[in-house]
Amino acid sequence: SQQGEEDPQALSIQEGENATMNCSYKTSINNLQWYRQNSGRGLVHLILIRSNEREKHSGRLRVTLDTSKKSSSLLITASRAADTASYFCATDALGNSGGGADGLTFGKGTHLIIQP
Amino acid sequence: DAGVIQSPRHEVTEMGQEVTLRCKPISGHDYLFWYRQTMMRGLELLIYFNNNVPIDDSGMPEDRFSAKMPNASFSTLKIQPSEPRDSAVYFCASSRPLAYNEQFFGPGTRLTVL
């Protein structure tokens, strides 16, 4: 079953602008992750934020997590044409083995288009 | 490392035929996951293994689907008999120990059942 729901479903912006995507989820989590999928390719891990963290940065990526609202956002700054892809949030549900690994629950993704 | 390897990349078959998808995880990763992606249902976890042992197969849609992991470097997902509604992209992913579930995905197998 789907846990995360991304918003918006599609987003088109000009190169150089910032892109913000949101994710809501339903159950308590160990962590939340964001993945990117280029057309016809597998998913690539971007960033992971643990349930006790509120914000995390990695290069041009900034992720926030609000566990009280069960929501997360992914901000991509200074977007580039190469950022065109689908972006998925994935949750690792509480009750999973924490430091181990369990199946992730993915949302349906936000399709981001960067116009040159 | 070559990353997660999946074969074949594309498979077209006729309804009723047996289909076998293959996966080689990243060396040293002790978790292996099989996912299915469709437009309607998104990405769904089918089954995952830890140290070659199936841990959770609750996502396997029906008895027509089976998965094995005979050793740490190889897994198969078999569909027998295949049906048109099985058409999807099937991904294999692996994860290393104590990595908080960061998963590395293969390129996927696009299955079309006619």
pLDDT score for B2: 81
| Whether A106 and B56 lie within 8 Å, measured CB to CB | no
Contact B88, B82 (CB under 8 A): no
| Whether B98 and A100 lie within 8 Å, measured CB to CB | yes
| Whether B102 and A41 lie within 8 Å, measured CB to CB | no
Question: Which residues of chain A are within 8 Å of residue B31 when distances are taken between CB atoms?
Answer: 100-101
Distance in Å, alpha carbon of A42 to nearest chain B alpha carbon: 4
Beta strand spans in chain A (E)? 5-7, 10-14, 19-24, 29-37, 43-50, 55-58, 61-66, 71-76, 85-93, 105-106, 110-115
Question: Which residues of chain B are within 8 Å of residue A45 when distances are taken between CB atoms?
Answer: 102-104
Q: What are the tens digits of pLDDT across the range B62-78?
A: 899 999 999 999 999 99
Q: What are the tens digits of pLDDT across the range A73-82?
A: 999 999 999 9
Q: What are the tens digits of pLDDT across the range A29-45?
A: 889 999 999 988 899 99
Question: Using CB atoms, which residue from A2, A99, A109 is nearest to B100?
Answer: A99
Mean pLDDT (whole number) for A65-91: 96
| Whether B42 and A41 lie within 8 Å, measured CB to CB | no
| Whether A104 and B103 lie within 8 Å, measured CB to CB | yes
The better pLDDT of the pair B62, B53 is held by B53
Distance CA B101, CA B88 (A): 24
Question: Which residues of chain A are within 8 Å of residue B56 when distances are taken between CB atoms?
Answer: 102-103
- Structure tokens that stand for B93 in this block: 């992913």
| Whether B99 and A103 lie within 8 Å, measured CB to CB | no
* Closest C-alpha to B23, from B64, B78, B79: B78
Contact A76, A16 (CB under 8 A): no
Distance in Å, alpha carbon of B16 to nearest chain A alpha carbon: 26
Distance CA A10, CA B81 (A): 36
The torsion defined by the Cα of A72, A39, A9 and B34, in degrees rounded to 10, comes to -60
pLDDT score for A99: 43
Please tell me the least confidently modeled range out of A49-53, A60-64, A97-101, B98-102: A97-101
Distance in Å, alpha carbon of B33 to nearest chain A alpha carbon: 7
Contact B33, B103 (CB under 8 A): yes
